[in-house]
Amino acid sequence: MHKPLAGIKVLELARILAGPWIGQLLADLGADVVKVERPVVGDDTRTWGPPFVEGADGETLSASYFHSTNRGKRSVAADFETHEGQAVVRKLAAHADVVIENFKVGGLKKYGLDHEALSALNPRLITCSVTGFGQDGPYAPRAGYDFMVQGLGGIMSLTGEPEGEPVKTAVAFADVFTGVYGTVAILAALQGRHATGKGCHIDMALLDTQVSVLGNQALVYLVSGMLPPRMGNEHTSIVPYQVFPTSDGHIIVACGNDGQFQKFCGVLGTTWHLDPDYSTNPGRVTRRDVLIPLIAAETGRHTKADLLARLGAVNVPVGPINDLAEVFSDPQVVHRGMRLDLPDPRAKGGTIPSVRSPIVIDGVPMAAETASPQVGDHTQSVLADPAWGG
């Protein structure tokens, strides 16, 4: 299949997660993504282990963290601190369609590699700048870290048990979402360039993204003026919609309407659905403190397998809480090919694992076919490539 971004050249001057996530997603969609790294040490996340990918001869081939967000790219080693390294970046930028960078605000200006300078060489250039707080405002000079942004941006006030401490997500929530939104912005800018013939500067901020994805919880506050509480695994406006115990673990039950609650009661052998206090969702939400312990006591009499089978058979939304071993052995996940094993003769076993993007176009999963590069793997080939001015 001819991938939709084939022929698009992306220069990645980014490291850690949000910027590289953009580059990896564009590579999955067919773009030629060239990642410029510091000689020898490369992207910071190459050392963020263990675990490390093991080489065929027992050496390490960078941390798993690095491999989670850099497949499908080519690596060029260049030192921004030197005139030679700056010249390499300018040469590549002159032929690129997109530059991704996540330096602090103004961080590239001292090297003459900021959007204004590079777009003077290439007016069609689209630059996506990823920072913690954006290009302007009182926080603009600050460094941005996902954990801090989760706290500042409100999600931690909503996550965790009511009586416990606020909790961050286990995945870098703001970073990954910024990567996704940054990709959308770049695709929109490429489309816009068809009409104007000119590039543009995209300003992506982790805090903006974190606030944006507060979603319905933000509107609870903006509409009512009330602060949504931390509710653990419970839902603010639907009952029952949470984790429940079984005799051998836990399951998720998500009754989104009264009909599903009626079926749920039928499986459990109860008559709560006939009680006017619980027959409608508003009643159940109002009286959750009484109803939830009753449900938990009843589900605790059954095994996970029993409830998953019986509730699933009557179309009550129910599911397990899988660990990652169970996730990657789940028949649906296996069928959809979410795990990738990308060839690399330097790796032990000849492949490096990866997780594909969720995008499927005309039945073809959008995933790059090459593993993450080692530092400078492609310096000579990229600089000699006519498409990049070689």
Integer Cα distance of 177 and 19 in angstroms: 11
105 neighbors 140 (Cβ within 8 angstroms): yes
**Of 99, 105, 101, 106, nearest to 126 (Cα)?**
99
Integer Cα distance of 146 and 17 in angstroms: 10
Given 175, 203, 208, 344, which residue is catalytic?
Answer: 175
Integer Cα distance of 22 and 44 in angstroms: 17
The token pair that represents 371 in the structure block = 């593993």
- Give me the sheet containing 73-77, strands edge to edge: 73-77, 32-37, 9-13, 98-101, 126-131, 200-205
**Of 118, 124, 129, nearest to 91 (Cα)?**
118
Strand pairing category for 249-254 and 318-320: antiparallel
Please work out, in degrees rounded to the nearest 5, the angle formed at the alpha carbon of residue 139 by the alpha carbons of 133 and 145: 50
Integer Cα distance of 25 and 7 in angstroms: 15
Does residue 57 have an active-site annotation? no
Contacts of 131 (CB under 8 A, 6+ apart): 102, 103, 104, 105, 140, 144, 203, 204, 205, 206
**Of 78, 106, 102, nearest to 90 (Cα)?**
78
Integer Cα distance of 75 and 77 in angstroms: 7
DSSP classification of residue 377: T
Which sign does the torsion angle of CA 66, 190, 134, 37 carry? Answer: positive
Element (H, E) at 80: none
Cis previous bond, 51, omega within 30: yes
The token pair that represents 31 in the structure block = 């773009």
Length in residues, the chain = 390
Residues carrying an active site annotation: 175
